Chain A
């Protein structure tokens, strides 16, 4: 059903769990299937220094969460904002068509976390 990469990330997800005092949080729920994906980021010198996730979702939702944390880590904010659902799916060795919305979910959550960080940064 799923690629080896998807199963690998699902079985051993990277950067999983709650983060204390994050600089930005992005939570996004999928209105289509009910998955909920939450990303926490810590930013230093415009770079994502740390990133963690909590996801209630299917195997693919968990795999995209894990892989996006790996992809975004140590990237600049601008680079991170450029990550697309296609990049994520590609990194996972492809996704079945009906699961593409999961990778979109991860990209959206990251954008939301960055937006949240920028808003907090301005108010500091």
Chain B
């Protein structure tokens, strides 16, 4: 008998939905044309490209020409940061511009910002978050300066699921200075939250395929018409000259269909939340000395993050993995850098608390039986590891 496998790491990646896969398949070997070609083979590929762009713009409530396909959200984030700053200097900017990001951003925002700061091309302000992992409006207000050109705050955090007040931050920014570009990394939010860009007051938004039951290696950037940006990748001039390279048509078609399915599947969010709450309650009831990291109130419905004090998250992860349960940890032991998660540090966790953290992220495939099974195995794992640690 095949060993039971329960995948609770849906914030890391998700399986491709079978309907998405089916829709992608013809674009590998039947509709394989290059969408830049003007013959009929090119036409059929271009049709797939156009439809995907339409599906995404419908979902975000924007124009289809405001969607740019990329090689993933890391590229979308890198491009946005480099592209806006590059364009600022290109347009004859005199004084060093200022950008604002939050302390819990994905590394794909933090690293480009730090790189530009090291190169002396920008000033960077990193916004703190409160204990719940939320950026406070007052902090944004305080951080905006005369030379601020860009603010980037993620919509929902991947580690603790905290949901940021994007709409309110957008309002505040637009009230202060219409010229500031406001970007949100919405990778973790697409499945669960309202991503209408007009509602959110955002000028730019990053999307990833593989976090929404679509393929890996494809993403998109929504960029409001008229926002000045330089390309990151130059070449054949695809994507209105802003992102060169022959389009990954099967991937793009998959991304479009995946987004289309998100709107159809949103009834499932309540079911996921109920299961999530059942696991949280079970852990709190049956396992002593645990703490829930982040807030319950403003949290993605599929996210759980606990510290199991006196033991180590990587140990729990490996033990669960041996039993076919796949989770994640913010422990330094699981990272090659041997540093604890910057998100858990940002919400004030000690190194020891980060060390003992485990993240469970549910998905469409998670069942009620899965939760019972996981809780049962988890209790045993924690007890065993606490015995080993003598704590």
Question: Could you tell me which A residues sit within 8 Å of B by CB distance?
Answer: 1-2, 7, 10-11, 13, 16-18, 32-36, 38, 54-62, 98, 101
Contacts A16-B387, A56-B391 given: A34-B351 contact, CB under 8 Å?
Answer: yes
B175 within 8 A of A: no
Q: Name the contact of A38 in the complex, choosing from B310, B312, B319, B390 (C-beta under 8 A).
A: B390
A34 near B388 with CB under 8 A, answer no
Q: Which B-chain residue is minimally distant from A102 (CB atoms)? A: B333
A13 near B388 with CB under 8 A, answer yes
Q: Which residues of B contact A60 (CB under 8 A)?
A: 333
* Most chain A Cβ neighbours within 10 Å, of B315, B334, B336, B352: B315
B388 near A55 with CB under 8 A, answer yes
Q: Which residues of A contact B336 (CB under 8 A)?
A: 98
Q: Which residues of B contact A55 (CB under 8 A)?
A: 388-389
B361 within 8 A of A: no
Q: Which 10 A-B pairs have the closest CB atoms?
A: A54-B390, A58-B314, A58-B333, A56-B389, A59-B318, A33-B332, A32-B338, A34-B355, A98-B336, A33-B338
Q: Which residues of A contact B338 (CB under 8 A)?
A: 32-33, 98, 101
Q: Which residues of A contact B312 (CB under 8 A)?
A: 34-35, 56-58, 61
Q: Which residues of B contact A57 (CB under 8 A)?
A: 312, 315, 333, 389
Q: Which residues of B contact A13 (CB under 8 A)?
A: 388
Main SS class of interface, A:
mixed
Q: Please report the C-alpha to C-alpha distance between residue A60 and residue B317 in the assembled complex, in whole angstroms.
A: 12
Q: Which residues of B contact A98 (CB under 8 A)?
A: 336, 338
Q: Please report the C-alpha to C-alpha distance between residue A95 and residue B311 in the assembled complex, in whole angstroms.
A: 21
B322 within 8 A of A: yes
Q: Name the contact of B390 in the complex, choosing from A18, A32, A35 (C-beta under 8 A).
A: A18
User: A25 CB to closest chain B CB, in angstroms?
Assistant: 12
Q: Please report the C-alpha to C-alpha distance between residue A16 and residue B319 in the assembled complex, in whole angstroms.
A: 17
Q: Number of B interface residues, CB 8 Å?
A: 24
Q: Please report the C-alpha to C-alpha distance between residue A101 and residue B322 in the assembled complex, in whole angstroms.
A: 23
Q: Which residues of A contact B385 (CB under 8 A)?
A: 62
Q: Which B-chain residue is minimally distant from A1 (CB atoms)? A: B318
13 residue pairs of the A-B complex, CB under 8 angstroms, read A10-B315, A32-B338, A33-B331, A55-B388, A55-B389, A56-B311, A57-B312, A57-B389, A59-B319, A60-B333, A61-B312, A61-B315, A62-B385
Q: Please report the C-alpha to C-alpha distance between residue A56 and residue B351 in the assembled complex, in whole angstroms.
A: 13
User: 5 more A-B contacts (CB under 8 A) besides A54-B388, A60-B333?
Assistant: A10-B318, A10-B319, A32-B338, A58-B318, A61-B333
Q: Please report the C-alpha to C-alpha distance between residue A20 and residue B337 in the assembled complex, in whole angstroms.
A: 37
Q: Which residues of A contact B315 (CB under 8 A)?
A: 10, 57-59, 61-62
